[in-house]
Chains A and B, each alone.
Chain A
Amino acid sequence: MNTPNPNQIAARFRVVRENFTLDVDLHLPDRGITALFGPSGCGKTTLLRAIAGLERAPGGRLVVSGEPWQDARVFVPPHRRALGYVFQETSLFPHLSVRRNLEYGMKRVPENERTLHWDEVIDWLGLTPLIRQQPHQLSGGQRQRVAVGRALLSSPRLLLMDEPLAALDAGARAEILPYLDQLHQKLSIPVLYVSHSAEEVAWLADHLVCLEAGRVVWQGKAADGLTRLGVTAEHSARVVAQEEGWTVLDIEGQTLRLPWLEAKPGDSLRLRFEKNA
């Protein structure tokens, strides 16, 4: 964790607010989803905004894949940082169609610097049926999918997500989570995911940073930190067969039979055990 790696994200910020002081010095991995987890008001959104440059944090230091975005002499303004940002509530431009929203960031990146392409992003997020619509015609979950797509189409080198599901109801959350989970397998860029929901973090995160009152209280592999989220154990399982109302799973060489699950042989699943509250 402490060996310097040029591809890492190094972030050191100290922001004093009325009700808390954010004081962090982080080295984050350059791949996968890192969850910034903690209760409301612990400073996780402030940290994300400081990383984006939306929040001025004088004295801070931020290096992303070897490129200094902020130090004593440099402050790269947000529009010159190759990042994508998904806000908690909808941030689609109301005067533009879904297509024009999606194109907004893409058009501002020179063609030879684009790393993610229109067709793949549209396909990953299932946006084809939405493209001709206006933002106000979409449901909350659809809007957030468009917002994620819009951020990705600007070819970011770092994707920041600030509680993207918090404003959605359970149904919309369940609809969008699989898309985010898939992204995570397809994207080669690091994602910082702010959340206070243990469920989302347990589902999505590879790496976990727990914040309390503006300070990092724990960080490490998500699998090692699950007890902090109230999750006792988690395993990945492979579906071996579907027989007579039972689903047969293989968990690290052990066989487990469960009442029939909606899955095909060969699918991989994640099993999570939680203590009953």
Chain B
Amino acid sequence: MKLSPGDWQAVVLTLELAGVVTLILFMLGTPIAWWLARTQSKWKAPIGAVVALPLVLPPSVLGFYLLLAMGPNGWVGQLTQSMGIGLLPFTFWGLVVGSVFYSLPFMVQPLQTAFEALGERTLEAAATLRASPLDRFFSVATPIARPGFMTAGILSFAHTVGEFGVVLMIGGNIPGETRVASVQIFDHVEALQYGEAHHLAAVLLVFSFLVLLALYTWRPKALRL
């Protein structure tokens, strides 16, 4: 099985995208999940629903709205232009923004479950032992929720690798910039290069299977207490 230089470029770009998106999601998704797990606010249900939207929304719908928002007349577009960044659609960073939204539930939901399982008692005990809220988060919540962080990271990464619709809507098909592996396969098929499509498709299939196999084999060691 041999991948062409174009295929390699697409694979590397995909991994870069998924890596950057996963890192951003850790920073963005953790506070959202923490808030959702602990709040009693009436906003919990609406915010939870918004976070979960990408699970059911057609990627083209999400991509369409993002395209409008990031375009020259959208509010994000005007903001980025005024900051001197230019416009995001059809750039790598535009893809990053789209993918962050698209994969958000895969980060937030496992973390939220892990934080909910923590229990009030453990955090209260830490509070009576002089740990400030931030200290409690890092010294107690994070280590106990570590299996949740692993699951969330793996799922977010893998889900971003498998993205197609959002990329097509806001990223287009620029080699080395926005042409990720799934788009590259689409190109091969459109050009009737089934052989090339097979190679890359097989790579993605094996990758996805291995990720899920790893996830299902590795089980968070049950904390007995």
- Tell me whether B129 and A95 are in contact (CB under 8 A): no
User: CB < 8 Å: which of A84, A136, A154 contacts B225?
Assistant: A136
- Identify which of B101-109, B118-126, B161-169 touches chain A: B118-126
- Tell me whether A93 and B125 are in contact (CB under 8 A): yes
- Tell me whether B224 and A79 are in contact (CB under 8 A): no
Instruction: Give Cα A91 to B130, complex, Å.
Output: 15
Give chain B interface residues in 106-138, CB to chain A under 8 Å.
Answer: 121-122, 124-133, 135-136
B56 within 8 A of A: no
Q: Which residue of B lies closest to A103 (CB)?
A: B129
- Tell me whether A95 and B223 are in contact (CB under 8 A): yes
| Minimal beta-carbon separation of A39 from chain B (angstroms) | 23
| Minimal beta-carbon separation of B26 from chain A (angstroms) | 19
Inter-chain contacts of B143 with A (CB < 8 A): 95
> Which DSSP category, helix, strand, loop or mixed, fits chain B's interface?
helix
| Minimal beta-carbon separation of B133 from chain A (angstroms) | 8
1/0 per residue, CB under 8 A from B, across A70-92: the answer is: 00000001111101110101111
Instruction: Give Cα A108 to B140, complex, Å.
Output: 14
B69 within 8 A of A: no
- Tell me whether A94 and B129 are in contact (CB under 8 A): no
Instruction: Give Cα A154 to B139, complex, Å.
Output: 16
Instruction: Give Cα A89 to B125, complex, Å.
Output: 11
Q: Which residue of B lies closest to A82 (CB)?
A: B130
Given A54-B124, A87-B121, do A92 and B130 touch, yes or no (CB 8 Å)?
no
Given A92-B225, A93-B140, A135-B225, do A108 and B124 touch, yes or no (CB 8 Å)?
no
Instruction: Give Cα A91 to B144, complex, Å.
Output: 13
- Tell me whether B121 and A91 are in contact (CB under 8 A): yes
Given A94-B224, A135-B225, A136-B224, do A78 and B127 touch, yes or no (CB 8 Å)?
yes
- Tell me whether B225 and A150 are in contact (CB under 8 A): no
Interface centre among B127, B129, B132, by most chain A C-beta atoms within 10 angstroms, is B129
- Tell me whether B122 and A84 are in contact (CB under 8 A): no
Interface centre among B133, B136, B224, by most chain A C-beta atoms within 10 angstroms, is B224
- Tell me whether B127 and A108 are in contact (CB under 8 A): no
- Tell me whether A94 and B130 are in contact (CB under 8 A): no
Instruction: Give Cα A160 to B124, complex, Å.
Output: 13
User: CB < 8 Å: which of B132, B139, B225 contacts A94?
Assistant: B225
Task: Identify 13 new A-B residue pairs, CB closer than 8 A, beyond the known A85-B125, A94-B122.
Answer: A54-B127, A79-B127, A79-B136, A84-B128, A91-B121, A91-B125, A93-B126, A105-B129, A108-B135, A109-B130, A136-B223, A151-B128, A154-B130
Please name the 7 residue pairs, one residue from A and one from B, whose CB atoms are nearest each other, closest first. A105-B129, A108-B130, A85-B128, A91-B125, A94-B225, A136-B224, A78-B127
Q: Identify the A interface with B (CB < 8 A).
A: 52, 54, 77-81, 83-85, 87, 89-95, 104-105, 108-109, 135-136, 150-151, 154, 160
**9 CB-based A-B contacts, threshold 8 Å:** A77-B127, A78-B128, A79-B130, A94-B223, A105-B130, A108-B129, A136-B223, A136-B225, A154-B130
